[in-house]
Structure 1
Amino acid sequence: MTASDVVQTIRLEPDAGLVKSLGAHHTLDSAIADLVDNCLDAEGTKVAVRLLTDSDRLVQVEVFDNGNGMDAVAADQAMTLGHQREYGENELGHFGIGMKAASFGHADVLTVWSSRYGASPVGRRIRRADFSKDFSCELLSENAASQAEAQRKRVTGAGRGTTVVWSELRSAFRGASTEEARTWMAHAERSLRSHLGVTFHRLIAKGLLDIEILVDEMEYADEAIGAPVKAIDPFGYAKSGHPDYPKSVIAESDGQRIALQCHIWPPKVDIPGFRISGKSGERYQGFYIYRNDRLLQVGGWSEVANSSAQRQLARVVLDDETAIGSFLTMNPEKAGLRFEPIFRDALAHATATDGTTFDDYLKAAEACYAEGNRRISRRQPVITPEKGFAPKLRRSIGTELPLLRSDSLNLQWKRLPEGEFIDVDFGNSTLWLNSRYRYLFAPERGSLNDAPVVKALLFLLTHKVFEGVHLGPKDKDNIALWRSILGAAVQAEEDMRGE
């Protein structure tokens, strides 16, 4: 092939039909996270997400921010497929298709309202069916844009900024049952809160970003107040599971070095951060890749290691902007990255300053998990907690201790003499608590599973008594001791509160 083979250069414009495939890999969670990225790039600090329903079914999604906003030129560019402005090194935008892909993955109509300081408010709307034919975009009236600005000010406290609206949704519950629709909506909100909480946990924790989510019927939404998204730190353990970790392992190739901070969670810890979206922490072992404090990948070994139950305590932070584009390739959805062969080769030879290899790290995580299981296996079985124990408390006891399935223990309230707090009903495997003092530990009253802290402590104190065949002299002496001390304690509690 030579230069003389070329007779002409022509321009091949993209076919508008490609719009139909936009956002195919976006979940609702990842799509809304992509819109939050745009808010951050616009220097926004507050984002309000509204999931609006009609008869309990999701019909519209709105995302408001208090960022810099856009004028008419910037709005046209934002609605142009593939337009790539000059991104700053701290910005999260990358491909120029994020908002369109995120939106058309779930809705047939995308409307954008925006206001920039010193410019008239603007509105733009693109309909997926028309956009996929000729990239057409509707220009909306300044009067309507002004009304949208006023609404944004009510929601975020600032008229300046941008509002993205998805309507004519495709990806929402369409079943006939109202109860099923409510359940779907509850799951969707919980999943979104968790996803945004972990994806932006650093920014939320630093006070740089405030996200709130509101779920309500459309006609009442303007009167409602959203609830804040809380940061979920996937490295938020109090103490490392291994004294030598976290530790940095350095991968190097062609003179480029990246640090992998290797963490080992403590075994048998079941808290938000280890457990994410209500799912077991075992699912979240692997790499956590950040870009400008935004989490791009939540776990997964990306084919450089195998996932296993024994490695569930292992989590690795990669927080190096230079790695993306060389060692790693980001996808448009910003949901996971492709690990290039150069990274896999570098990882095979990566070491810490003390000579620890990545393989050594994985073995240390496996050993920590095995040791944690050995410690648990030495614990003696306990009676099964039953009535009066909150489900979460029962699960926690069952996780930490092997259970005797042959019998169960109930903790319930009833009226006892003044000055007494507990009564042991050995024959019926029930520990009675004096309902005279229930208000001290369960102000709401009425719930079978109330006062979980008090009940957990009493279970740990008394369970061995109920596990015996009969009450021996030592058991009877312990019961008398507990009744005396706890009776005095509950009266002191009441006195201190001035009741």
Structure 2
Amino acid sequence: MASSVFRHAPPKACAMIESLRGLGYTTATALADIIDNSIAACADRLDITFIWLGTGSIISILDNGNGMTERELDKGMRLGEINPLETRKNNDLGRFGLGLKTASFSQCRRLTVASRKSGEMNCLRWDLDVIATSKDDGWYLLEGAHEESEKLLFPLNGYDTGSLVLWEVLDRIITPGFAEQDFLDLIDRVEQHLAMVFHRLLEGNNSSRLKIYINNKPVNPWNPFLIGHPAKSWSSPEVVFPSVDGVVMECHVLPHKDKLTESEFQSAAGPEGWTAQQGFYVLDITI
């Protein structure tokens, strides 16, 4: 049998990354993807910081998770490093090894990740402008933070282990006409989204619950089911699917507007309003 004839055909770095930037993230969903990584790293505290500097504005996400060694960070910063067919840990919320990068690229042109583990700091960054201007179209993963950004990594020094994700050159957020008030409105939308997506992990008073802060303000959980409200008279019993192990379904009917105060009605509507918030919610994931 004749040997196969083939050509080595790697994708162009600039073209590939610019294509990946259009996967449909909002700022809120992109941040939620980053938080998934922190949760998988056993973090129980996250500090998200929005810094308004006009076109030089910055967003950072700091966690107190397990951190990464140099080798682990290198692997985590490469695109498509993880095969989705591989067996994964139960607490691994990723699948394709793309989430951190594609979520970040959807919002910014410079992604820096620093991590502390085993007594040492490791830092790598992607800079899409460097890739765009390279003559040989290489996949250049850069060592360390940009020289003007090193001071932004200082908060990580307060942790024995943890990671900091830094978004700079926010070209998909700070677009022409985008003003400081728009930035403040964006922070509100992000807070509402995270309060909904992570409400089960944010609820309760136990020391192990997840705590998320945005500019030092705690994110309080938003429960879509009005659990415990006296006007909510009915919830379905749990329905178990015999053919699907571990899946349980409940139905919830929320009270009529007449049985809620105006503030309760507005709160229960959720970030996107009553109609958009109805539907299916995946609540219990073992992590």
Q: TM-score, normalised by structure 2?
A: 0.81
1:205 equivalenced with 2:203 (yes/no): yes
- Please name the residue that 1:77 is paired with: 75
The Cα shift of 1:280 comes to 2.6
Any unmatched runs of 5+ in structure 2? none
- Please name the residue that 1:99 is paired with: 100
Label 1:27 to 1:100 Cα distance change in 2 as closer, same or farther (>3 A).
Answer: same
Q: Which has the larger share of helix?
A: 1
Map Cα deviations across residues 92-129 of structure 1 (whole Å, 9 max, x no partner).
122200111011101111111111024x2111111124
Partners of 2:106 and 2:284 lie apart in 1 by 24
Does the Cα contact within 8 Å between 1:109 and 1:167 map onto a contact in 2? yes
The Cα shift of 1:135 comes to 1.7
Counterpart of 1:275 in structure 2: which amino acid? A
- Please name the residue that 1:396 is paired with: none
- Please name the residue that 2:4 is paired with: 8
Partners of 1:291 and 1:259 lie apart in 2 by 9
Partners of 2:282 and 2:131 lie apart in 1 by 34
> 1:267 pairs with 252, 256, 266, which one?
256
The Cα shift of 1:198 comes to 0.8
1:285 equivalenced with 2:278 (yes/no): yes
- Please name the residue that 2:220 is paired with: 230
Partners of 2:165 and 2:201 lie apart in 1 by 21
Identity across the alignment (%): 25
Partners of 1:164 and 1:50 lie apart in 2 by 10
* Superposed counterparts of 1:137-286, under 5 Å: 137-140=141-144, 150-153=154-157, 157-176=158-177, 181-206=179-204, 207=206, 208-214=209-215, 226-237=216-227, 238-239=229-230, 241-243=232-234, 245-250=235-240, 255-256=243-244, 258-268=247-257, 269=260, 270-271=264-265, 274-277=268-271, 279-286=272-279
1:126 equivalenced with 2:126 (yes/no): yes
- Please name the residue that 2:27 is paired with: 28
Instruction: Give SS of 2:224's match.
Output: coil
Partners of 1:195 and 1:82 lie apart in 2 by 27
Counterpart of 1:247 in structure 2: which amino acid? P
Map Cα deviations across residues 399-443 of structure 1 (whole Å, 9 max, x no partner).
xxxxxxxxxxxxxxxxxxxxxxxxxxxxxxxxxxxxxxxxxxxxx
Partners of 1:116 and 1:144 lie apart in 2 by 24
The Cα shift of 1:173 comes to 3.7
Partners of 2:173 and 2:138 lie apart in 1 by 27
Q: Which has the larger share of strand?
A: 1
The Cα shift of 1:260 comes to 2.0
Counterpart of 2:280 in structure 1: which amino acid? F
Aligned residue pairs, count: 266
Does the Cα contact within 8 Å between 2:52 and 2:180 map onto a contact in 1? no
Does the Cα contact within 8 Å between 2:46 and 2:61 map onto a contact in 1? yes
Counterpart of 1:262 in structure 2: which amino acid? C
Does the Cα contact within 8 Å between 2:114 and 2:163 map onto a contact in 1? yes
Label 1:58 to 1:183 Cα distance change in 2 as closer, same or farther (>3 A).
Answer: farther
Instruction: Give SS of 1:19's match.
Output: helix
Rg: which structure is higher? Answer: 1
Instruction: Give SS of 1:288's match.
Output: coil
Partners of 1:201 and 1:9 lie apart in 2 by 54
- Please name the residue that 1:487 is paired with: none
Counterpart of 1:189 in structure 2: which amino acid? I
Instruction: Give SS of 2:36's match.
Output: helix
- Please name the residue that 1:435 is paired with: none
The Cα shift of 1:251 comes to 5.1
Counterpart of 1:288 in structure 2: which amino acid? Y
* Superposed counterparts of 1:372-391, under 5 Å: none
Partners of 2:67 and 2:149 lie apart in 1 by 12
Does the Cα contact within 8 Å between 1:65 and 1:163 map onto a contact in 2? yes
Partners of 2:46 and 2:81 lie apart in 1 by 24
Partners of 1:9 and 1:108 lie apart in 2 by 38
The Cα shift of 1:293 comes to 6.6
Instruction: Give SS of 1:264's match.
Output: coil
- Please name the residue that 1:53 is paired with: 52
Instruction: Give SS of 1:88's match.
Output: coil
Partners of 1:131 and 1:292 lie apart in 2 by 38
Label 1:149 to 1:130 Cα distance change in 2 as closer, same or farther (>3 A).
Answer: closer
Partners of 2:266 and 2:67 lie apart in 1 by 35
Partners of 1:103 and 1:52 lie apart in 2 by 16
Counterpart of 1:79 in structure 2: which amino acid? M
Partners of 1:62 and 1:271 lie apart in 2 by 33
* Superposed counterparts of 1:413-432, under 5 Å: none
The Cα shift of 1:262 comes to 1.1
Partners of 2:27 and 2:212 lie apart in 1 by 16
Instruction: Give SS of 1:107's match.
Output: coil
Q: TM-score, normalised by structure 1?
A: 0.48
The Cα shift of 1:87 comes to 3.3
Map Cα deviations across residues 265-309 of structure 1 (whole Å, 9 max, x no partner).
1111444662112x4322211111236279xxxxxxxxxxxxxxx
Label 1:205 to 1:10 Cα distance change in 2 as closer, same or farther (>3 A).
Answer: farther
Partners of 1:148 and 1:54 lie apart in 2 by 14
